[in-house]
Structure 1
Amino acid sequence: MLSTIEPRDDIAAAVQQIILSPSDADYLDQLIPAIKDASRSKRTAQLMQTLSHFSDDCEADIEKMCNSNHQEFVTSVNQLLRVREGTVSLTSEILNLNQSIQSSTEKLAEQKKALVDSRGVRQNINEAAQALKDCLEVLRLANHVHDLLAKKNHYAALRALDELQNVHLKEITQYKIADMIQQSVPATQKLVAEAVMTDLNTWLYRIRETSQFLGEVAFYHTELRRTRHKDRMERIPYLRNTKLNSAIELVSDEREEFDVLDNDNVQVDFTPLFECLHIHEALGQMDKFRSEYAATRRQQKELLLPSSILLVDGDHSSLNALLEGIAGFAIVERATMKKTQSLRSPVDVDELWDSMCQSAITLISKALNDVDNVDVLLKIKRIIALFIHTMNGWDYSVTVLDSFLLTLFEKYAELLKKRFSDDFQEIVQADDYMPMSIDSLDKYDKVVRISWYTPDKDQEDLRSVSPLPQIHRILTFRSFPCVLPFSQMYPLCCVNIRSFLNQFYFFSDDNFQHPNIIYETLKKSLDELLSEKVCKSLVERLNSQYLGQIVQILINLEHFEIACKELEQLLITARSSNSAGGPIILNATEEFRSNKKTAEKRIFELVNSKIDDLVETAEYDWIAPTLETEPSNYMQTLTRYLSNIMNSTLLGLPREIKELIYFDALSHAANMILSLPLSPEVRKINPNGVAALAKDVHYLAEFVDSLNNPILPETLDELQQTVNLMLADTSDEFYDVSTRNKKYGRVDPMNGPLLLENLR
């Protein structure tokens, strides 16, 4: 009820204000808002009704007033009519105005509605523009990821992709494009991983191509270190027992800083590896990457190793390439392990290293079958030793390579022995077995220096051979040409022995850590060479019928025995401190000593054979009718022969051997001469026959006495006493035991009666 009354009261109050307006302007000012309000609230009829009521009330008041005041009433009526006329006119105007206002209000409402609608559209446009802006930003970031990939900024691309996924995509989750980009993130991550792996594979390929050069640089640096270390050892005595890669050597060489992986010749940049490692770690794919990287390195290891190498003709390029490639590969592996925390484990690296070492040993062993030159083997050993030193400096185990050096040394020793065996054989066969002639002081000093020969210091002259072999002339000491006791084979063999020793120890330097094996192998090989190739060959030549050659062989055997004793002392000196102590006895020493007896026997055989031949030419007429006045021809020839061999053929023999040969030869000659009258063919002997024999024996005794050797005359005692018995006037003295022992003690008790019987 209140809601109905209150609007009416408002309109009445408005009408009251309009009526009470003091002027027309105010009247209109009050009327227009009232009309607008009525039109806005759709109460225009109510306003008109209120105005009509107000008009009727006014007319009633006027009529009442007119009844009392007619004139005034008429006047008022006239005025009222005029007012009414004005009111009608005003009402018409109000209606027109109301219609105009109504029309304006409708247009305004339409405009307001259009404005509201336009504001909604604009809001939608703004929201769509913001959404489009956000989506474009996401698309820009997505494209930026691919741009970074194209520029190979892989880690930046991965970070941008992570920012896109964890920040920007969350702002547009309501849009379908967010799902599309979110679904493409794994593919993009895969692109990043593939791109970085592509760069890594390129890096690995370059590393594989650079491995050999890297190894070559490492070898060169190791060789420089070894040279510097040798210089230090020469300058500083207490460093002589230190080895390369030892703590002392490393400290001494620390001033020479050198990075094999980063220098003027080669630079290995690990950035692609670090980036790839970092990206796979960020992607949570470390296990997969570690496995793929290990498989790739194994494949590269297989590609690094050739199917075969060549070691003949002194061409070691294939061996150098093999070991340099392995060294470069292993250095990169070790550096990778040290520079990364979890990519390469020591087990993986050492496994690859062991595999490469075994493959290299297999290739080298196969190629060694075609090598038959010790110099080539020595060069191979030096290359392998340089490889061992280089890799030992990178903390790699070189045990298997060190063991392979033993195999290489065995082949080296075998080839060296074969080579010197052939040399010794050739020297022995090519020798003339004549005393060696020296024609200059330089050659003399050289022979004395290389041979284990000490000239007799008390000797004041050397005998020089003139163009006539049997003529000698005495020269002052060191007058040339001069003659040495041994033949040319002895100093040549000494040279070969020294060369053999040196070449054995060429293998034993700071690169080979098995001196005991070298020592034992050297001792055994040297002993076998001297015994089998020198001594045995000399003994085989003892079958010669040439006495001078046999004598020279004996002299050579004597000097070789001395050389063997010197070699025993030399081997003791060269023996390492880790070897067992005690004296060293070469079997060859005893071989030469024992075969000297064989040579002596052979000389005895030849001399005695010659004596036999000469004695067989004796032509005694045991019943000669006349007395001989001159010694027999055979006796003169025999003494001349013995004198000649004493002064020429046997001259170079040691005095004791020469005396022994003379003693044996004279004893044999005496026995052969004594056998002549004891021959079964001799049935009768007369004094002329005995006199001829006695003259020859006396001639022989004078020759023996001329030798000025108190022992030699003993060889003729039996012969002389037997001849004296045959010359005796009576034979009773022989049968008298006391007289026989005194005068004929050396006469055979069986031969004496036989000869006396023939004399009768």
Structure 2
Amino acid sequence: MDQDPQLAVSQDLQRALLTAEFVSKSGSSNQDQGEDELFELDPQIFDRWVPLLRQTIDEGQLNTVIDDLYASIDDHFENLETQILQDSQINNNLVTSINEIQKVQQIIDGSLQNDIKNLQSQVRHSTLNLVSRKQILIDNTKTSSKITESSILIQKVLQILELFNRCRELIEEKDFFKALQTIETFETIYLQDFKQYNFEFLNQIYTSIPMLKSQIKDESINLIKKSLNYNLEKTFSVIGEKYYDVYETQILQDWLKTKQSMKLHNYKFNSPVEISLRDTSKLDSLQLQNFCQLHEFHDSILIFQSLNEMDFFIDEFRKEYEFRKSKLIHPLFLKDFSTVSHSNGKIDAFAEKLDLSFFKEYILKILGFLVYDKELHKSTDYVLSNNNNPNSTDIFWTSIMNKLYPYLITMVKEKLTTEQLLTEFKDFLGVLIAILENLKLNVELLYKVQVETFSQYCELLVFLFQKEFTNLLQDDDFMPLAITDKALYEKILKICWLADQGSDTSNTTNDNFSATFPFSPLYPMTCTLVKKTYSSLHSFISIFYKHDISHLNLIVIKAIDNIFDRVVNDNIKSKLDTTSREEIAQILVNLDYFVIAAKEFSLILTRENLTNNPDVEIRLSSIKKLIETRKEAETKLITLIDSKVIDLMEFIEFDWNSTEVRTEPDMTIVDIAQFLEMMFTSTLAIIPYNIKMLLIFREFDVITRRFLEKLLNETPDRISPQSVQNFETDMLYLEKTITKIFPNDVSSVPTSPSIPATPTDVPSTAGNRSSTQVENNIKSLLSTFTDLKQHIGLMKINHWDEYKDNDIRLKKYSRVKPEVAQSLLSKLQPPSSEQSNLVSDEGSSAESRANSRFAKLFSRG
């Protein structure tokens, strides 16, 4: 527990007094003669008292301490009173001590009074001095406070002036957002610290704030306009060209190498497979910051947001942006009323300029803008787009394509007229579409243009095919293709579609090699062209076309169908107006092969269809057209042969009243026989076997029917037996022609190498045919003469009773009707002399008419 300071001082003083020792001193110096001895206080003891007394005085406790001392004396000496009183020595000392204490007290009181007076004087003087100094201090404090306030105010004035000056510098440096922040800081400081002051220069600065803000707004908008103008004129084309260059020379080329090495032939450029294998680091150079910066837009947005004037800024931005867009797409106009109309007699500037070179430059500039526009809206959180729409770039691009689409279609159809131009345009579109797809922009219309480009390419190839085919058709000799070169023979076997690829020719040397194909040179040349065209079509769409594959497949099918129909079939069909049986026969053979070629190509298209669907079965419609043309060729060939046979038969005049029997056939019969032999062994040797057999049966049937009709309906009422024998001689000669058409020695036909069979031949009958088959054909043809032979046989017998015998009639004359038999036998009755003379006259006239007809026949050729 802390001790009371007053009590502590009192106790210390008591201890000092109690432990003091007094010293006796001679009284020689004293004036009083009654005092024999004095007691003197030790100075060191007094020095010990002085601090305690001074402390007591300073604390104003002197009286209290004295009272404590008296009380202490009572306490200390209370018990000693009796002893002291009893001890004389002590009493004497005590009396002496009391006197000495009184003296000490007097001394102390005197000293203390003097000290107190001095102290009071000093205190009074110090107090006056302190009051004076305090007043000075107060005055100085007020002055210092005012100085401090003035200093702070001056610093703030300097700060605000520095802010104003910095604001001006930032405006000049075009750092408008920081300038606005500086103005706001200036304004805040002014309103907080200087509004109550009437500083004219600060008031003037403050009143200039709206002007500065207006200047910042104007300069920000002007900076946006300058930025747009610079980017429009300089950067957009650079961005578009850089994008195209990276995709075309790096990304695409890498894919083509990867596609070849990994055998990814069914996958197209920019497909998910290609994108997954793409080296994306090569796209780093396409970052927009590599071409231009968008800081001015960000700063402007912050500026106008701070000023709460975003609506104004957006309106001003859109006005300028729309103007730049219209300038960008010029001479194309997005608004319908701005479109230049041909109906007004004005020139469509865009259509006049549009070609492949102009389109590339134009669309790459737009591509650069699309990249810029997309990044601008994305980086500004779409606050600058209409209704904050994140698809604003796609909407703008779609509106451009809606206007551009008809122009591009027209350009593809009218200006891209060569394979090189169409291929170049296709490659350009392919890369462009890939870029736009990766930018998440709509490529539907542009892809339609690409598909239309392929359609035009198909039409162009069909046109070029037609041009080449027409030349081949004009140069074709319509003769079977004779080959004396073994390598060429094998090449033709690989090129052409044949029903039978022939026998092995490995043991045949080139020196003694010889083979003749049924078709003319037109067919292998056409096969080569068709395969080349088909390869070009596939190559055209092998890299970029990845959408609407079914439609593309239909375009390919249509192109091949047009080749076989509009080109091959129509052009060959136009050749059917010829009267040359050799040409018609060769056309018929060629058509047979073209039918098989179209069928084989149907299988190829089915196997290699673009959809990769194994369930798709393709059959070219041109097959049916070729078959129809082939039938027309057959009909035309039959008509030509029929007309020739009929012409020859018109010159036949039989002498039915002849009295001489000829051993040789009539010359007209010989001509007919030679014509038939030449026709079926030479002219028609190349046509399909079944067609040739049909023609042979048809012609011999026509001839025999025609001669039977002459016998029945064109003979006079009286005929001589000799004329019947002559008629039989003629018919037998015609009958022998059959064996000449089908030689019995079939082993004489070469067997190595075998000639590919015509497509309509049955495989078992292709090449050399067996003697059994030839014999069967001969028997069938000989049966066409059965009717004639039965009628002639009856006339030679000239015996009615034999005909009436049923057994004999059924065996020998089953095809002779009774009324016909009666009519013919009645004409064989002997004539009267008058009739004989008439017959003789008629015979001579008949001979003269025959000679005249022979002359006419040879003159007709």
Residue equivalent to 2:367: 327
Contact 2:656 2:715 in 1 (8 A): no
With over 3 angstroms needed to count, the CA separation of the structure-2 counterparts of 1:523 and 1:243, relative to structure 1, is closer
Provide the C-alpha distance between the structure 2 equivalents of 1:484 and 1:640, rounded to a whole number of angstroms. Answer: 26
Contact 1:301 1:356 in 2 (8 A): no
Residue 543 (structure 1) aligned with residue 577 (structure 2): yes
Residue 147 (structure 1) aligned with residue 164 (structure 2): no
With over 3 angstroms needed to count, the CA separation of the structure-2 counterparts of 1:732 and 1:535, relative to structure 1, is farther
Residue 251 (structure 1) aligned with residue 280 (structure 2): no
Q: Which stretches in structure 1 are left out of the alignment for 5+ residues?
A: 1-119, 462-474
Provide the C-alpha distance between the structure 2 equivalents of 1:608 and 1:549, rounded to a whole number of angstroms. Answer: 16
Deviations 1:629-685 (A, max 9, x none): 222222222222222222321111111111221121222222233334334353332
Provide the C-alpha distance between the structure 2 equivalents of 1:735 and 1:587, rounded to a whole number of angstroms. Answer: 61
Structure 1 counterpart SS, 2:404: helix
Contact 1:436 1:487 in 2 (8 A): yes
Provide the C-alpha distance between the structure 2 equivalents of 1:446 and 1:314, rounded to a whole number of angstroms. Answer: 46
Provide the C-alpha distance between the structure 2 equivalents of 1:226 and 1:501, rounded to a whole number of angstroms. Answer: 24
Structure 1 counterpart SS, 2:391: helix
Contact 1:200 1:272 in 2 (8 A): yes
Q: Which stretches in structure 2 are left out of the alignment for 5+ residues?
A: 1-141, 333-348, 745-773, 830-861
Matches within 5 A, 1:151-300: 151-167=173-189, 170-173=192-195, 174=197, 175-208=199-232, 209-223=234-248, 224-237=250-263, 240=265, 242-254=267-279, 256-262=281-287, 267-300=291-324
Structure 2 counterpart SS, 1:519: helix
Contact 1:214 1:260 in 2 (8 A): no
Provide the C-alpha distance between the structure 2 equivalents of 1:235 and 1:255, rounded to a whole number of angstroms. Answer: 20
Provide the C-alpha distance between the structure 1 equivalents of 2:302 and 2:613, rounded to a whole number of angstroms. Answer: 56
Contact 1:222 1:390 in 2 (8 A): yes
Residue 612 (structure 1) aligned with residue 637 (structure 2): no
1:566 aligned to which of 576, 596, 600: 600
2:478 aligned to which of 430, 433, 436: 433
Provide the C-alpha distance between the structure 2 equivalents of 1:140 and 1:602, rounded to a whole number of angstroms. Answer: 109
Matches within 5 A, 1:277-676: 277-307=301-331, 316-343=356-383, 344=385, 345-368=389-412, 370-371=414-415, 373=417, 375=419, 376-409=421-454, 412-413=457-458, 417=462, 420=465, 424=469, 427-428=472-473, 431-438=476-483, 440-441=485-486, 443-453=488-498, 456-458=501-503, 483-512=516-545, 513-577=547-611, 581=615, 583-676=617-710
Matched residue pairs, number?
A: 627
With over 3 angstroms needed to count, the CA separation of the structure-2 counterparts of 1:245 and 1:130, relative to structure 1, is same
Provide the C-alpha distance between the structure 1 equivalents of 2:581 and 2:460, rounded to a whole number of angstroms. Answer: 37
Contact 2:288 2:375 in 1 (8 A): no
Residue 690 (structure 1) aligned with residue 724 (structure 2): yes
Provide the C-alpha distance between the structure 2 equivalents of 1:439 and 1:216, rounded to a whole number of angstroms. Answer: 57
Contact 2:171 2:179 in 1 (8 A): yes
Deviations 1:27-78 (A, max 9, x none): xxxxxxxxxxxxxxxxxxxxxxxxxxxxxxxxxxxxxxxxxxxxxxxxxxxx
Structure 2 counterpart SS, 1:696: helix
With over 3 angstroms needed to count, the CA separation of the structure-2 counterparts of 1:436 and 1:190, relative to structure 1, is farther
With over 3 angstroms needed to count, the CA separation of the structure-2 counterparts of 1:476 and 1:594, relative to structure 1, is farther
With over 3 angstroms needed to count, the CA separation of the structure-2 counterparts of 1:362 and 1:585, relative to structure 1, is closer
Structure 2 counterpart SS, 1:678: helix
Contact 1:684 1:759 in 2 (8 A): yes
Structure 2 counterpart SS, 1:677: helix
Q: How far off is 1:577 after superposition?
A: 4.3
Provide the C-alpha distance between the structure 1 equivalents of 2:378 and 2:571, rounded to a whole number of angstroms. Answer: 63
Provide the C-alpha distance between the structure 2 equivalents of 1:573 and 1:313, rounded to a whole number of angstroms. Answer: 44
Q: How far off is 1:186 after superposition?
A: 2.1
Letter in 1 for 2:696: Y
Q: How far off is 1:551 after superposition?
A: 0.7
Structure 1 counterpart SS, 2:569: helix
Provide the C-alpha distance between the structure 1 equivalents of 2:639 and 2:221, rounded to a whole number of angstroms. Answer: 92
Provide the C-alpha distance between the structure 1 equivalents of 2:247 and 2:381, rounded to a whole number of angstroms. Answer: 28
Provide the C-alpha distance between the structure 1 equivalents of 2:319 and 2:625, rounded to a whole number of angstroms. Answer: 63
Letter in 2 for 1:153: D
Structure 2 counterpart SS, 1:685: coil
Percent of pairs with identical residues: 24
Structure 2 counterpart SS, 1:684: coil
Letter in 2 for 1:297: Y
Contact 2:354 2:411 in 1 (8 A): no
Structure 1 counterpart SS, 2:736: helix
Deviations 1:118-167 (A, max 9, x none): xx99x999999997886565444323322232233334433333332222
Residue equivalent to 1:60: none
Deviations 1:363-392 (A, max 9, x none): 423544633626334433332232111111
The answer to which structure, 1 or 2, has the higher relative contact order (CA under 8 A, 6+ apart) is 2
Provide the C-alpha distance between the structure 1 equivalents of 2:150 and 2:610, rounded to a whole number of angstroms. Answer: 95
Provide the C-alpha distance between the structure 2 equivalents of 1:277 and 1:440, rounded to a whole number of angstroms. Answer: 83
Q: How far off is 1:715 after superposition?
A: 2.1
Contact 1:516 1:578 in 2 (8 A): no
Q: How far off is 1:324 after superposition?
A: 0.9
Structure 1 counterpart SS, 2:677: helix
Residue equivalent to 2:40: none
1:717 aligned to which of 755, 772, 786: 786
Q: Which moved more, 1:191-200 or 1:329-338?
A: 191-200
Provide the C-alpha distance between the structure 1 equivalents of 2:211 and 2:786, rounded to a whole number of angstroms. Answer: 124
Deviations 1:470-505 (A, max 9, x none): xxxxx9789677543223333344344334434544
Letter in 2 for 1:272: E
Contact 1:371 1:377 in 2 (8 A): no
Contact 1:215 1:326 in 2 (8 A): yes
2:810 aligned to which of 741, 750, 753: 741
Matches within 5 A, 1:695-706: 695-706=729-740
Residue equivalent to 2:34: none
Contact 1:372 1:415 in 2 (8 A): no
Provide the C-alpha distance between the structure 2 equivalents of 1:127 and 1:594, rounded to a whole number of angstroms. Answer: 116
Deviations 1:319-342 (A, max 9, x none): 111221221111112222333334
Contact 2:486 2:509 in 1 (8 A): no
Q: How far off is 1:737 after superposition?
A: 3.3
Could you tell me the TM-score, scaled by structure 1's length?
0.73
Structure 2 counterpart SS, 1:257: helix
Letter in 1 for 2:282: E
Letter in 2 for 1:490: Y
With over 3 angstroms needed to count, the CA separation of the structure-2 counterparts of 1:698 and 1:301, relative to structure 1, is same
With over 3 angstroms needed to count, the CA separation of the structure-2 counterparts of 1:126 and 1:314, relative to structure 1, is closer
Residue equivalent to 1:14: none
Could you tell me the TM-score, scaled by structure 2's length?
0.65
Contact 2:661 2:726 in 1 (8 A): yes
Structure 2 counterpart SS, 1:745: coil
Q: How far off is 1:252 after superposition?
A: 1.8
Contact 1:427 1:489 in 2 (8 A): yes
Provide the C-alpha distance between the structure 1 equivalents of 2:570 and 2:265, rounded to a whole number of angstroms. Answer: 42
In angstroms, what is the RMSD of aligned CA positions? 3.8
Deviations 1:586-615 (A, max 9, x none): 332223224333322322222222222333
